[in-house]
A and B are shown apart, each in its own frame.
Chain A
Amino acid sequence: MSEQSLSGDRDPEGERVTRTSGPGRLLVAVYAVFAVAATARALYQILTKFDDAPTAYLLSAFAAAVYVVATVALSRSGAASWRIALTAVVVEMVGVLVVGTITVTDVVDFPADTVWSDYGRGYGFVPLVLPVFGLLWLRRTKARP
């Protein structure tokens, strides 16, 4: 990851729009923290008490995978990575909205917490706003042919 960013720094004009420069620097950092946090949480849940709430813990693992894919795809250049990042961020947004709504309204009994429960309240609602910034950033860094 560093080679890319270091070469980007040498550009005095800042003309190069790479996905990890400018605001993308912060965005990828936030995604990375969520990727690590969600992965660790899912691993812990699945390894120590999977039988308590298999659905919720599998959902935790799914959310973790989405964050990992989004982080990696956002930090790489190229049109293919852009599309993968877009897919991951859209899935993330749908995930947080659906899981958030289900947990807030209690239509389905959800016995355990995930990153997306109550729209990510346990994480300062960052999971709710993150995909919005992700989409805005992807729109701005769309590769020009």
Chain B
Amino acid sequence: MVDILVYAIVGSSLLYATWALVAVVRNQNPREPFVIGAGVVELLLLVQMVVAFVVMIVDDGPSDAALFISYLLFTVLLLPVALFWALAEKSRWGTSVLVFAALVVPALVVRLQDIWDGAPGV
């Protein structure tokens, strides 16, 4: 995996979580800026997915490819599904779903990195 992408994803996702948390505290709904913000993080995740697949095909991927790919798919699907679930709730609790999802993303990405580096499986 590309280190700079990992840092970018973890950083932007945590930033997004903080931003959404402020909105929760201020009792705000999940509004359009949060969709755009989630889109930015998601874009980075998609780039990471494409890069990972390319490296796996061209060069050498993680020893446990099945585990890596299942984590990768979960990571990529999380934010869109969370957004869909969050936007239907027009209260701070909708926004709180985004905080949660944006905190899960870095955990997943760190796990992805571990699997890529050959850490023992689950």
Enumerate chain A interface residues (CB-CB to B < 8 A): 2, 5-6, 9, 14, 20-26, 28-30, 32-33, 36-37, 40-41, 44-45, 48-49, 113, 124
Give min CB distance, A129 to chain B, whole Å: 13
Give min CB distance, B11 to chain A, whole Å: 19
| Beta-carbon nearest neighbor of B70 in chain A | A40
24 contacting pairs across A/B (C-beta < 8 A): A5-B89, A6-B88, A20-B89, A21-B91, A22-B91, A22-B93, A25-B89, A25-B91, A25-B94, A25-B96, A25-B97, A26-B93, A26-B96, A26-B100, A28-B85, A29-B82, A29-B86, A29-B100, A33-B100, A40-B70, A41-B122, A44-B121, A44-B122, A49-B121
Give min CB distance, B90 to chain A, whole Å: 6
Q: Is the CB of A44 within 8 A of B70?
A: yes
Residues on B with beta carbons closer than 8 Å to the beta carbon of A28? 85
Q: How large is the interface on B (under 10, 10 to 19, 20 to 34, 35 or more residues)?
A: 20 to 34
Enumerate chain B interface residues (CB-CB to A < 8 A): 66-67, 70, 74, 78, 82, 84-86, 88-91, 93-94, 96-97, 100-101, 104, 107, 121-122
Q: Is the CB of A36 within 8 A of B74?
A: yes
With A36-B74, A40-B70 known as contacts, the answer to whether A26 contacts B97 (CB < 8 A) is yes
With A33-B104, A36-B74 known as contacts, the answer to whether A25 contacts B121 (CB < 8 A) is no
